[in-house]
Chains A and B, each alone.
Chain A
Amino acid sequence: MKSDLVIIGAGPAGLAAAAQAYKEGVRDILLLERDNEPGGILNQCIHNGFGLHIYKEELTGPEYAERAFRELDETSVRFMPDTMVLSVSPDRRISAVSRTEGLIRIEAGSVILAMGCRERTRGAISIPGDRPSGILTAGAAQRYVNIEGCMVGRRVVLLGSGDIGLIMARRMTLEGARVLACVELMPFSGGLTRNIVQCLQDYDIPLLLSHTITGIRGRKRLEAVTVSKVDESLRPIPGTETELDCDTLLLSVGLIPENELSRGAGVELDPRTGGPTVTDDTQTSVPGIFACGNVLHVHDLVDNVTLEARKAGRAAARFLFSATREDIAETKDVRSSKKSPDPSARPVLRLTSDENILYTVPQAFSSELSDQTVDIYFRVKKILRDCDILLVDPDGTVLRRVYREYMTPGEMEKLTLSSSMLTARSARSLTLTIRPGEETSHD
């Protein structure tokens, strides 16, 4: 089976990428989804707060998903649910399986990776103690409560103040559970202020900053957790332990882009994001393979996922149209002779960053900037006040300076540049850096 464009994952990223690629003229699009309906994680995010940028109104997750799916109405995009992709090769051969179609092999002209992310588990943070039932990630609990209609517990402690955790604290409360506390390792919350207020404060759920869970008791079902205060280097302080009796521990301790397929395709990954290294057009290190949404880096707003996915859809279309059929066939032949892609074939402008910045996406700019503007998304490592964001040349020339009064790791930052500014550079790299602010340089 052949397809011009194969999109893996029909969450908000995959749906928006498919709609955009269709708009750009691609007709042979295959959208593969492992679940039995489109929407991805949005189906279980029944709370509101989505879509203010894209749809100009406040939607719930399922509403956002359905709108995104309806954008495929009247298109020729083929949607295949219940289909698990097993592998993607560097020459874009995809193997997938489904109950109805059996084993499927697809030769794709272009691939968009949109597999999303997964949650970090208890193991990732090595919480010591017993191993009873009743310990689950906030997202798993969200699916059980909202889609499966099953309550996962009655007395709940939440570890981590990420947004999913906060949302679940409210959900569990509204469904009749008692949420005893939200325990956060850092001295600040990783969630949106709005969620702190409307999910914790509204229900008098205490937020214990600079605390963590150091013990788990219960050989069958969870019976209690030990909460300890941590010092500045995040180590538990002996003597500060308190035991909380509970039957459920929800974990909201981070998300990891799901890149097992990308790795198999030979896509270079950025250890800072956990996702592929991409140029401004979302192209990975493997030509013709693009990535968008949470598989690329973890977003806090689905609207940004949609924007990024549209960029991927556009870029994939451009890739398909610039490469004639013969070209595609040719590249495949080259690949089948086991030649690895030559990275120098695509001249790029690298983007590096200083120690205040956790990561940037993209990590580089391609030589052919086809959009008028490019966006740099980044996260800071700690709360920063009154500072300037600077984009600098190797010779120290400041290309752009933007003032920010306040930045927090919990919220992704965006810097928009005009493409002309970049194409004029002869340098091979640029650096994003943060300095104490000069109040005069208001954005």
Chain B
Amino acid sequence: MIELTCILCPKGCRLRVDDKSGYRVTGNTCPRGAAYGREEALHPTRTVTSTVRILFEKNSETATAKTCASEGSRHDLLAPPMPLVSYFYPDRPKIEARLPVKTSAPIAKDKIFEVMEAINRITVRGPVQLGDLILSGVAGTDVDILATRTMNAPDHSAQTTALK
């Protein structure tokens, strides 16, 4: 017997899924709950989101004209603040930051930590665009790792101003 909490609505029904007799679901109060219980018991899947290392050249251009009155696209404004992690390695010629990523589709729940290990080994070079492919076929699956934001070189103008 597998015990689950239904996540389809705030009620959070306690589902019991009988894995000995055809994955019959009890405890549900609606038909959608039964379907969820069966699926969650048989093939639980999760989308994994995390971050990966990303490196930028130290003197790469940051968005200079920050007040953007002109019409058109302004993706160059999508630059994070200078992240603290970069101060771990002050003498390296690159700025290190963290890029948020996700799996392109849900993966089997029992693969989460394997996927995380693969994600933790990745280093990409910036800049990247939203949706860029970061890694294909993570952990032996057919699921990819995708960038979930556009990231230009971190804005370290704050620091340069301060040092003047």
Direct contact of A and B (CB under 8 A): yes
Distance to closest chain B CB from A104 (angstroms): 10
- Chain A residues with CB below 8 A from B81, complex form: 35-37, 147
- Least Cβ–Cβ distance between B138 and chain A, in angstroms: 14
Q: Is the CB of A66 within 8 A of B130?
A: yes
CB distance B149 to A66 under 8 Å?
A: yes
Surface stretch bound by B, among A189-197, A210-218, A355-363: A189-197
B27 at the interface (CB under 8 A from A): no
Closest Cβ of chain A to B143, distance in Å, is 14
**Interface size classification for chain A:** 35 or more
Instruction: Check if B68 sits within 8 Å of A66, measured CB to CB.
Output: no
Most buried by B among A35, A69, A407: A69
Q: At the interface with chain B, which of A77-85, A307-315, A424-432?
A: A77-85
- Docked-complex contact A78 and B67, CB < 8 angstroms: yes
- Asked whether, in the complex, the Cβ of A196 is within 8 Å of the Cβ of B49, the reply is no
**Given known A69-B78, A78-B67, A79-B67, contact A148–B46 (CB-CB < 8 A):** no
Minimal beta-carbon separation of B106 from chain A (angstroms)? 10
B66 interface contact, C-beta 8 A: yes
A410–B11 alpha-carbon span in the complex (Å)? 11
A73 within 8 Å of B by Cβ? yes
B residues 102-151 with Cβ under 8 Å of A?
A: 102, 109, 112-113, 116, 130, 148-150
What per-residue 1/0 map shows which CB atoms of B61-96 lie under 8 Å from chain A?
Answer: 000001111011110011111011100000000001
In Å, the complex CA distance between A79 and B77 comes to 10
A197 x B116 contact (CB < 8 A): no
Question: Does B163 touch A at the CB level, under 8 Å?
Answer: no
Q: Does B22 contact A (CB under 8 A)?
A: no
What chain A residues lie within 8 Å of B102 (beta carbons)?
A: 46, 48, 60
Residues of A bordering B, CB below 8 Å:
35-38, 43, 46-48, 58-60, 62-63, 65-66, 69-70, 72-76, 78-82, 99-101, 144, 146-150, 174-175, 192-194, 196-198, 201-202, 405-408, 410-411
A selection of 24 A-B contacts at a CB cut-off of 8 Å is A35-B81, A36-B155, A37-B155, A38-B78, A60-B102, A62-B100, A70-B73, A74-B72, A76-B69, A78-B68, A79-B77, A101-B67, A146-B51, A146-B98, A149-B83, A150-B84, A174-B50, A192-B10, A193-B10, A196-B5, A196-B12, A202-B46, A405-B11, A406-B10
Which B residues are within 8 Å of any A CB, using their own CB?
4-7, 9-12, 46-51, 53, 66-69, 71-74, 77-81, 83-85, 96-98, 100, 102, 109, 112-113, 116, 130, 148-150, 155, 157-158, 161
